[in-house]
């Protein structure tokens, strides 16, 4: 996965001490293409806010969409985009995180308990809890951006269905003329 400067600069924190707002972590031991942790955390927060928006719909309202499915036959299918997004969010988190980190994600981010209740339930101190929170945001931010073939971030591409196809061949008028030639009568030269 190639990270570009145009993606990371918009997501970076201007007051970040490590990247100084550029989005990439500088250093002699890095290649200059590693995104900063502030970018990864903002990607996670964008995906989480989209998940909250998906869950804000009433459960009895099933939003079914008739979408284009890219492939050889170019067919269409019925999908539940909001439920698919929630399932992808959860399953990627389950695969990526350890058990302790997933417990923090489930309690603090998904069930929306405050830090004090989470610390009491998980039997940890405040500092360890917030270190795990930052680690969860960084791991999942990278995972949601780099998962293939359909990444969760940017969310508009997941829901909007931007198709990445080969560009269509331009239609030129010259191609039409070779098929149907125009008949022109001969013109007499002026004397």
CA-CA distances (angstroms) from residue 7 to 82, 154, 163?
A: 25, 10, 19
Q: E-assigned strands of the chain?
A: 65-68, 76-79
- Token pair in block for residue 161: 């269905």
134-185 pLDDT, tens digit each: 999 999 999 999 988 878 888 777 777 554 444 444 444 445 445 555 566 6
> Whole-model pTM?
0.74
Is residue 2 within 8 A of residue 33, CB to CB? The reply is: yes
The per-residue pLDDT for 20 is 83
11-67 pLDDT, tens digit each: 888 888 888 888 888 765 566 678 889 999 999 999 999 888 888 766 656 667 776
The per-residue pLDDT for 7 is 82
- Token pair in block for residue 6: 């145009």
More confident residue, 10 or 118: 118
**99 SS3 class:** helix
Q: Where along the chain do its domains lie?
A: 5-161
Is residue 95 within 8 A of residue 113, CB to CB? The reply is: no
């Amino acid at each position: 996965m190639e990270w570009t400067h145009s993606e990371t600069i918009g997501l970076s924190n201007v007051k970040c001490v490590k990247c100084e707002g550029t989005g990439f972590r500088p250093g002699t031991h890095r290649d200059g293409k590693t995104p900063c942790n502030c970018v990864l955390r903002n990607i996670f927060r964008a995906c989480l806010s989209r998940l909250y928006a998906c869950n804000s719909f009433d459960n009895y309202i099933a939003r079914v969409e008739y979408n284009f499915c890219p492939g050889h036959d170019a067919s269409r299918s019925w999908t539940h985009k909001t439920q698919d997004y929630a399932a992808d969010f959860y399953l990627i988190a389950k695969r990526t995180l350890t058990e302790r980190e997933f417990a923090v994600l489930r309690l603090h981010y998904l069930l929306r308990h405050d830090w004090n209740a989470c610390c009491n339930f998980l039997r940890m101190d405040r500092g360890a809890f917030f270190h795990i929170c930052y680690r969860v945001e960084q791991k999942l931010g990278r995972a949601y951006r780099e998962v293939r073939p359909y990444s969760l971030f940017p969310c508009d591409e997941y829901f909007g269905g931007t198709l990445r196809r080969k560009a269509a061949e331009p239609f030129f008028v010259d191609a039409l003329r070779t098929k149907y030639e125009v008949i022109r009568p001969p013109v007499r030269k002026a004397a």
